[in-house]
Amino acid sequence: MAVVNPGTPMHSHGSAVLQKHEFVWIKDYLYSQAGIVLNDGKQALVSGRLDKRLRYHGLSSYSEYFRMIGKPGHEQEASMALDLLTTNETYFFREPKHFEFLKSHCLNTHPNNRPLRVWSAASSSGEEAYTLAMLTAEFCKADQVEIIGTDISTRVLEKARRGLYPMSAAEKIPTPLLKKYCLKGSDEYDGFFLIDPVLRNRVKFKHANLIEKLPELGQFDVIFLRNVMIYFDIPTKQRLVERIQHYLRPGGYFIVSHSESLNGMKSDLQMVSPSIYRKTGHG
């Protein structure tokens, strides 16, 4: 890994300025660690998310910080930098057509002889996985469904396991489900709500980097991988789709964001409707 030159100039208010060569370094680092392509023009995002870490360590340049996270003994800080740069916005009941599809094509027709298994493959702070939990709880007993959420960021996984969200995050949750599965915070938790522990127990969160060797997760009936592939280049997307489809049962569904598609990619997946694909064969 190239060492970049120290001596980044400072703004008058004391923040380091992210230099062009430093941005190139972090782009290469992020691509090698997470497969994410950082587009030019994202300098403000990088400095906005890492500035506090420089201040915390009393460093005057991004070069010093990057040198530090490349050294043995600083794995935790490197992991935190990765966490800060890979966390994406998410919310409850995002792209609701996908949940309507799940209701009509999976929940009403799933055989009773085995649990319905659903994977939220980039679960971030847990909103997608808990949306799936609320939805499936309306149709399935606890032992009839298994929901797994995975993410590269250990920090957001901790938040997901806790299941505590600001009240503003509840606006897309249908009122009956909000009343049934969420607890209103009081005292120090005023202005927050907690996912009911009974529902929280239906979801297991695990750490996984999608571009590295994945943990043993078993096979799934539905895999959600939404708003992730937009950050990858075509070769990384191709490898990711090849890897993830192995976790899908024949006849199972692979769901990406409405802004994404698998056009031009080799896979065992056939488009059912835009953003929804089915693995060939029968489950």
pLDDT 10s digit of each residue in the chain, 283 long?
Answer: 333 333 333 333 457 899 999 999 999 999 998 889 988 889 998 999 999 999 999 999 999 999 999 899 998 899 889 888 887 778 999 999 999 999 999 888 888 889 999 999 999 999 999 999 999 999 988 889 999 999 999 889 999 999 999 999 999 999 999 999 999 999 999 999 999 999 999 999 999 999 999 999 999 999 999 999 988 999 999 999 999 999 999 999 999 999 998 988 999 999 999 999 999 876 5
Q: Which 3-state string (H, E, C) describes the chain?
A: CCCCCCCCCECCCCCECCCHHHHHHHHHHHHHHHCCCCCCCCHHHHHHHHHHHHHHHCCCCHHHHHHHHCCCCCHHHHHHHHHHHHCCCCCCCCCHHHHHHHHHHHHCCCCCCCCEEEEECCCCCCHHHHHHHHHHHCCCCHHHEEEEEEECCHHHHHHHHHCEEEHHHHCCCCHHHHHHHEEECCHHHCCEEEECHHHHCCEEEEECCCCCCCCCCCCEEEEECCCCHHHCCHHHHHHHHHHHHCCEEEEEEEECCCCCCCCCCCCCEEEEECCEEEECCCC
Where in the chain are all domains bearing CATH 3.40.50.150? Answer: 96-279
Class at the top of the CATH hierarchy for domain 20-86: mainly alpha
Where in the chain are all domains bearing CATH 1.10.155.10? Answer: 20-86
CATH code at 96-279: 3.40.50.150
Q: Hey, which residues are catalytic here?
A: 49, 151
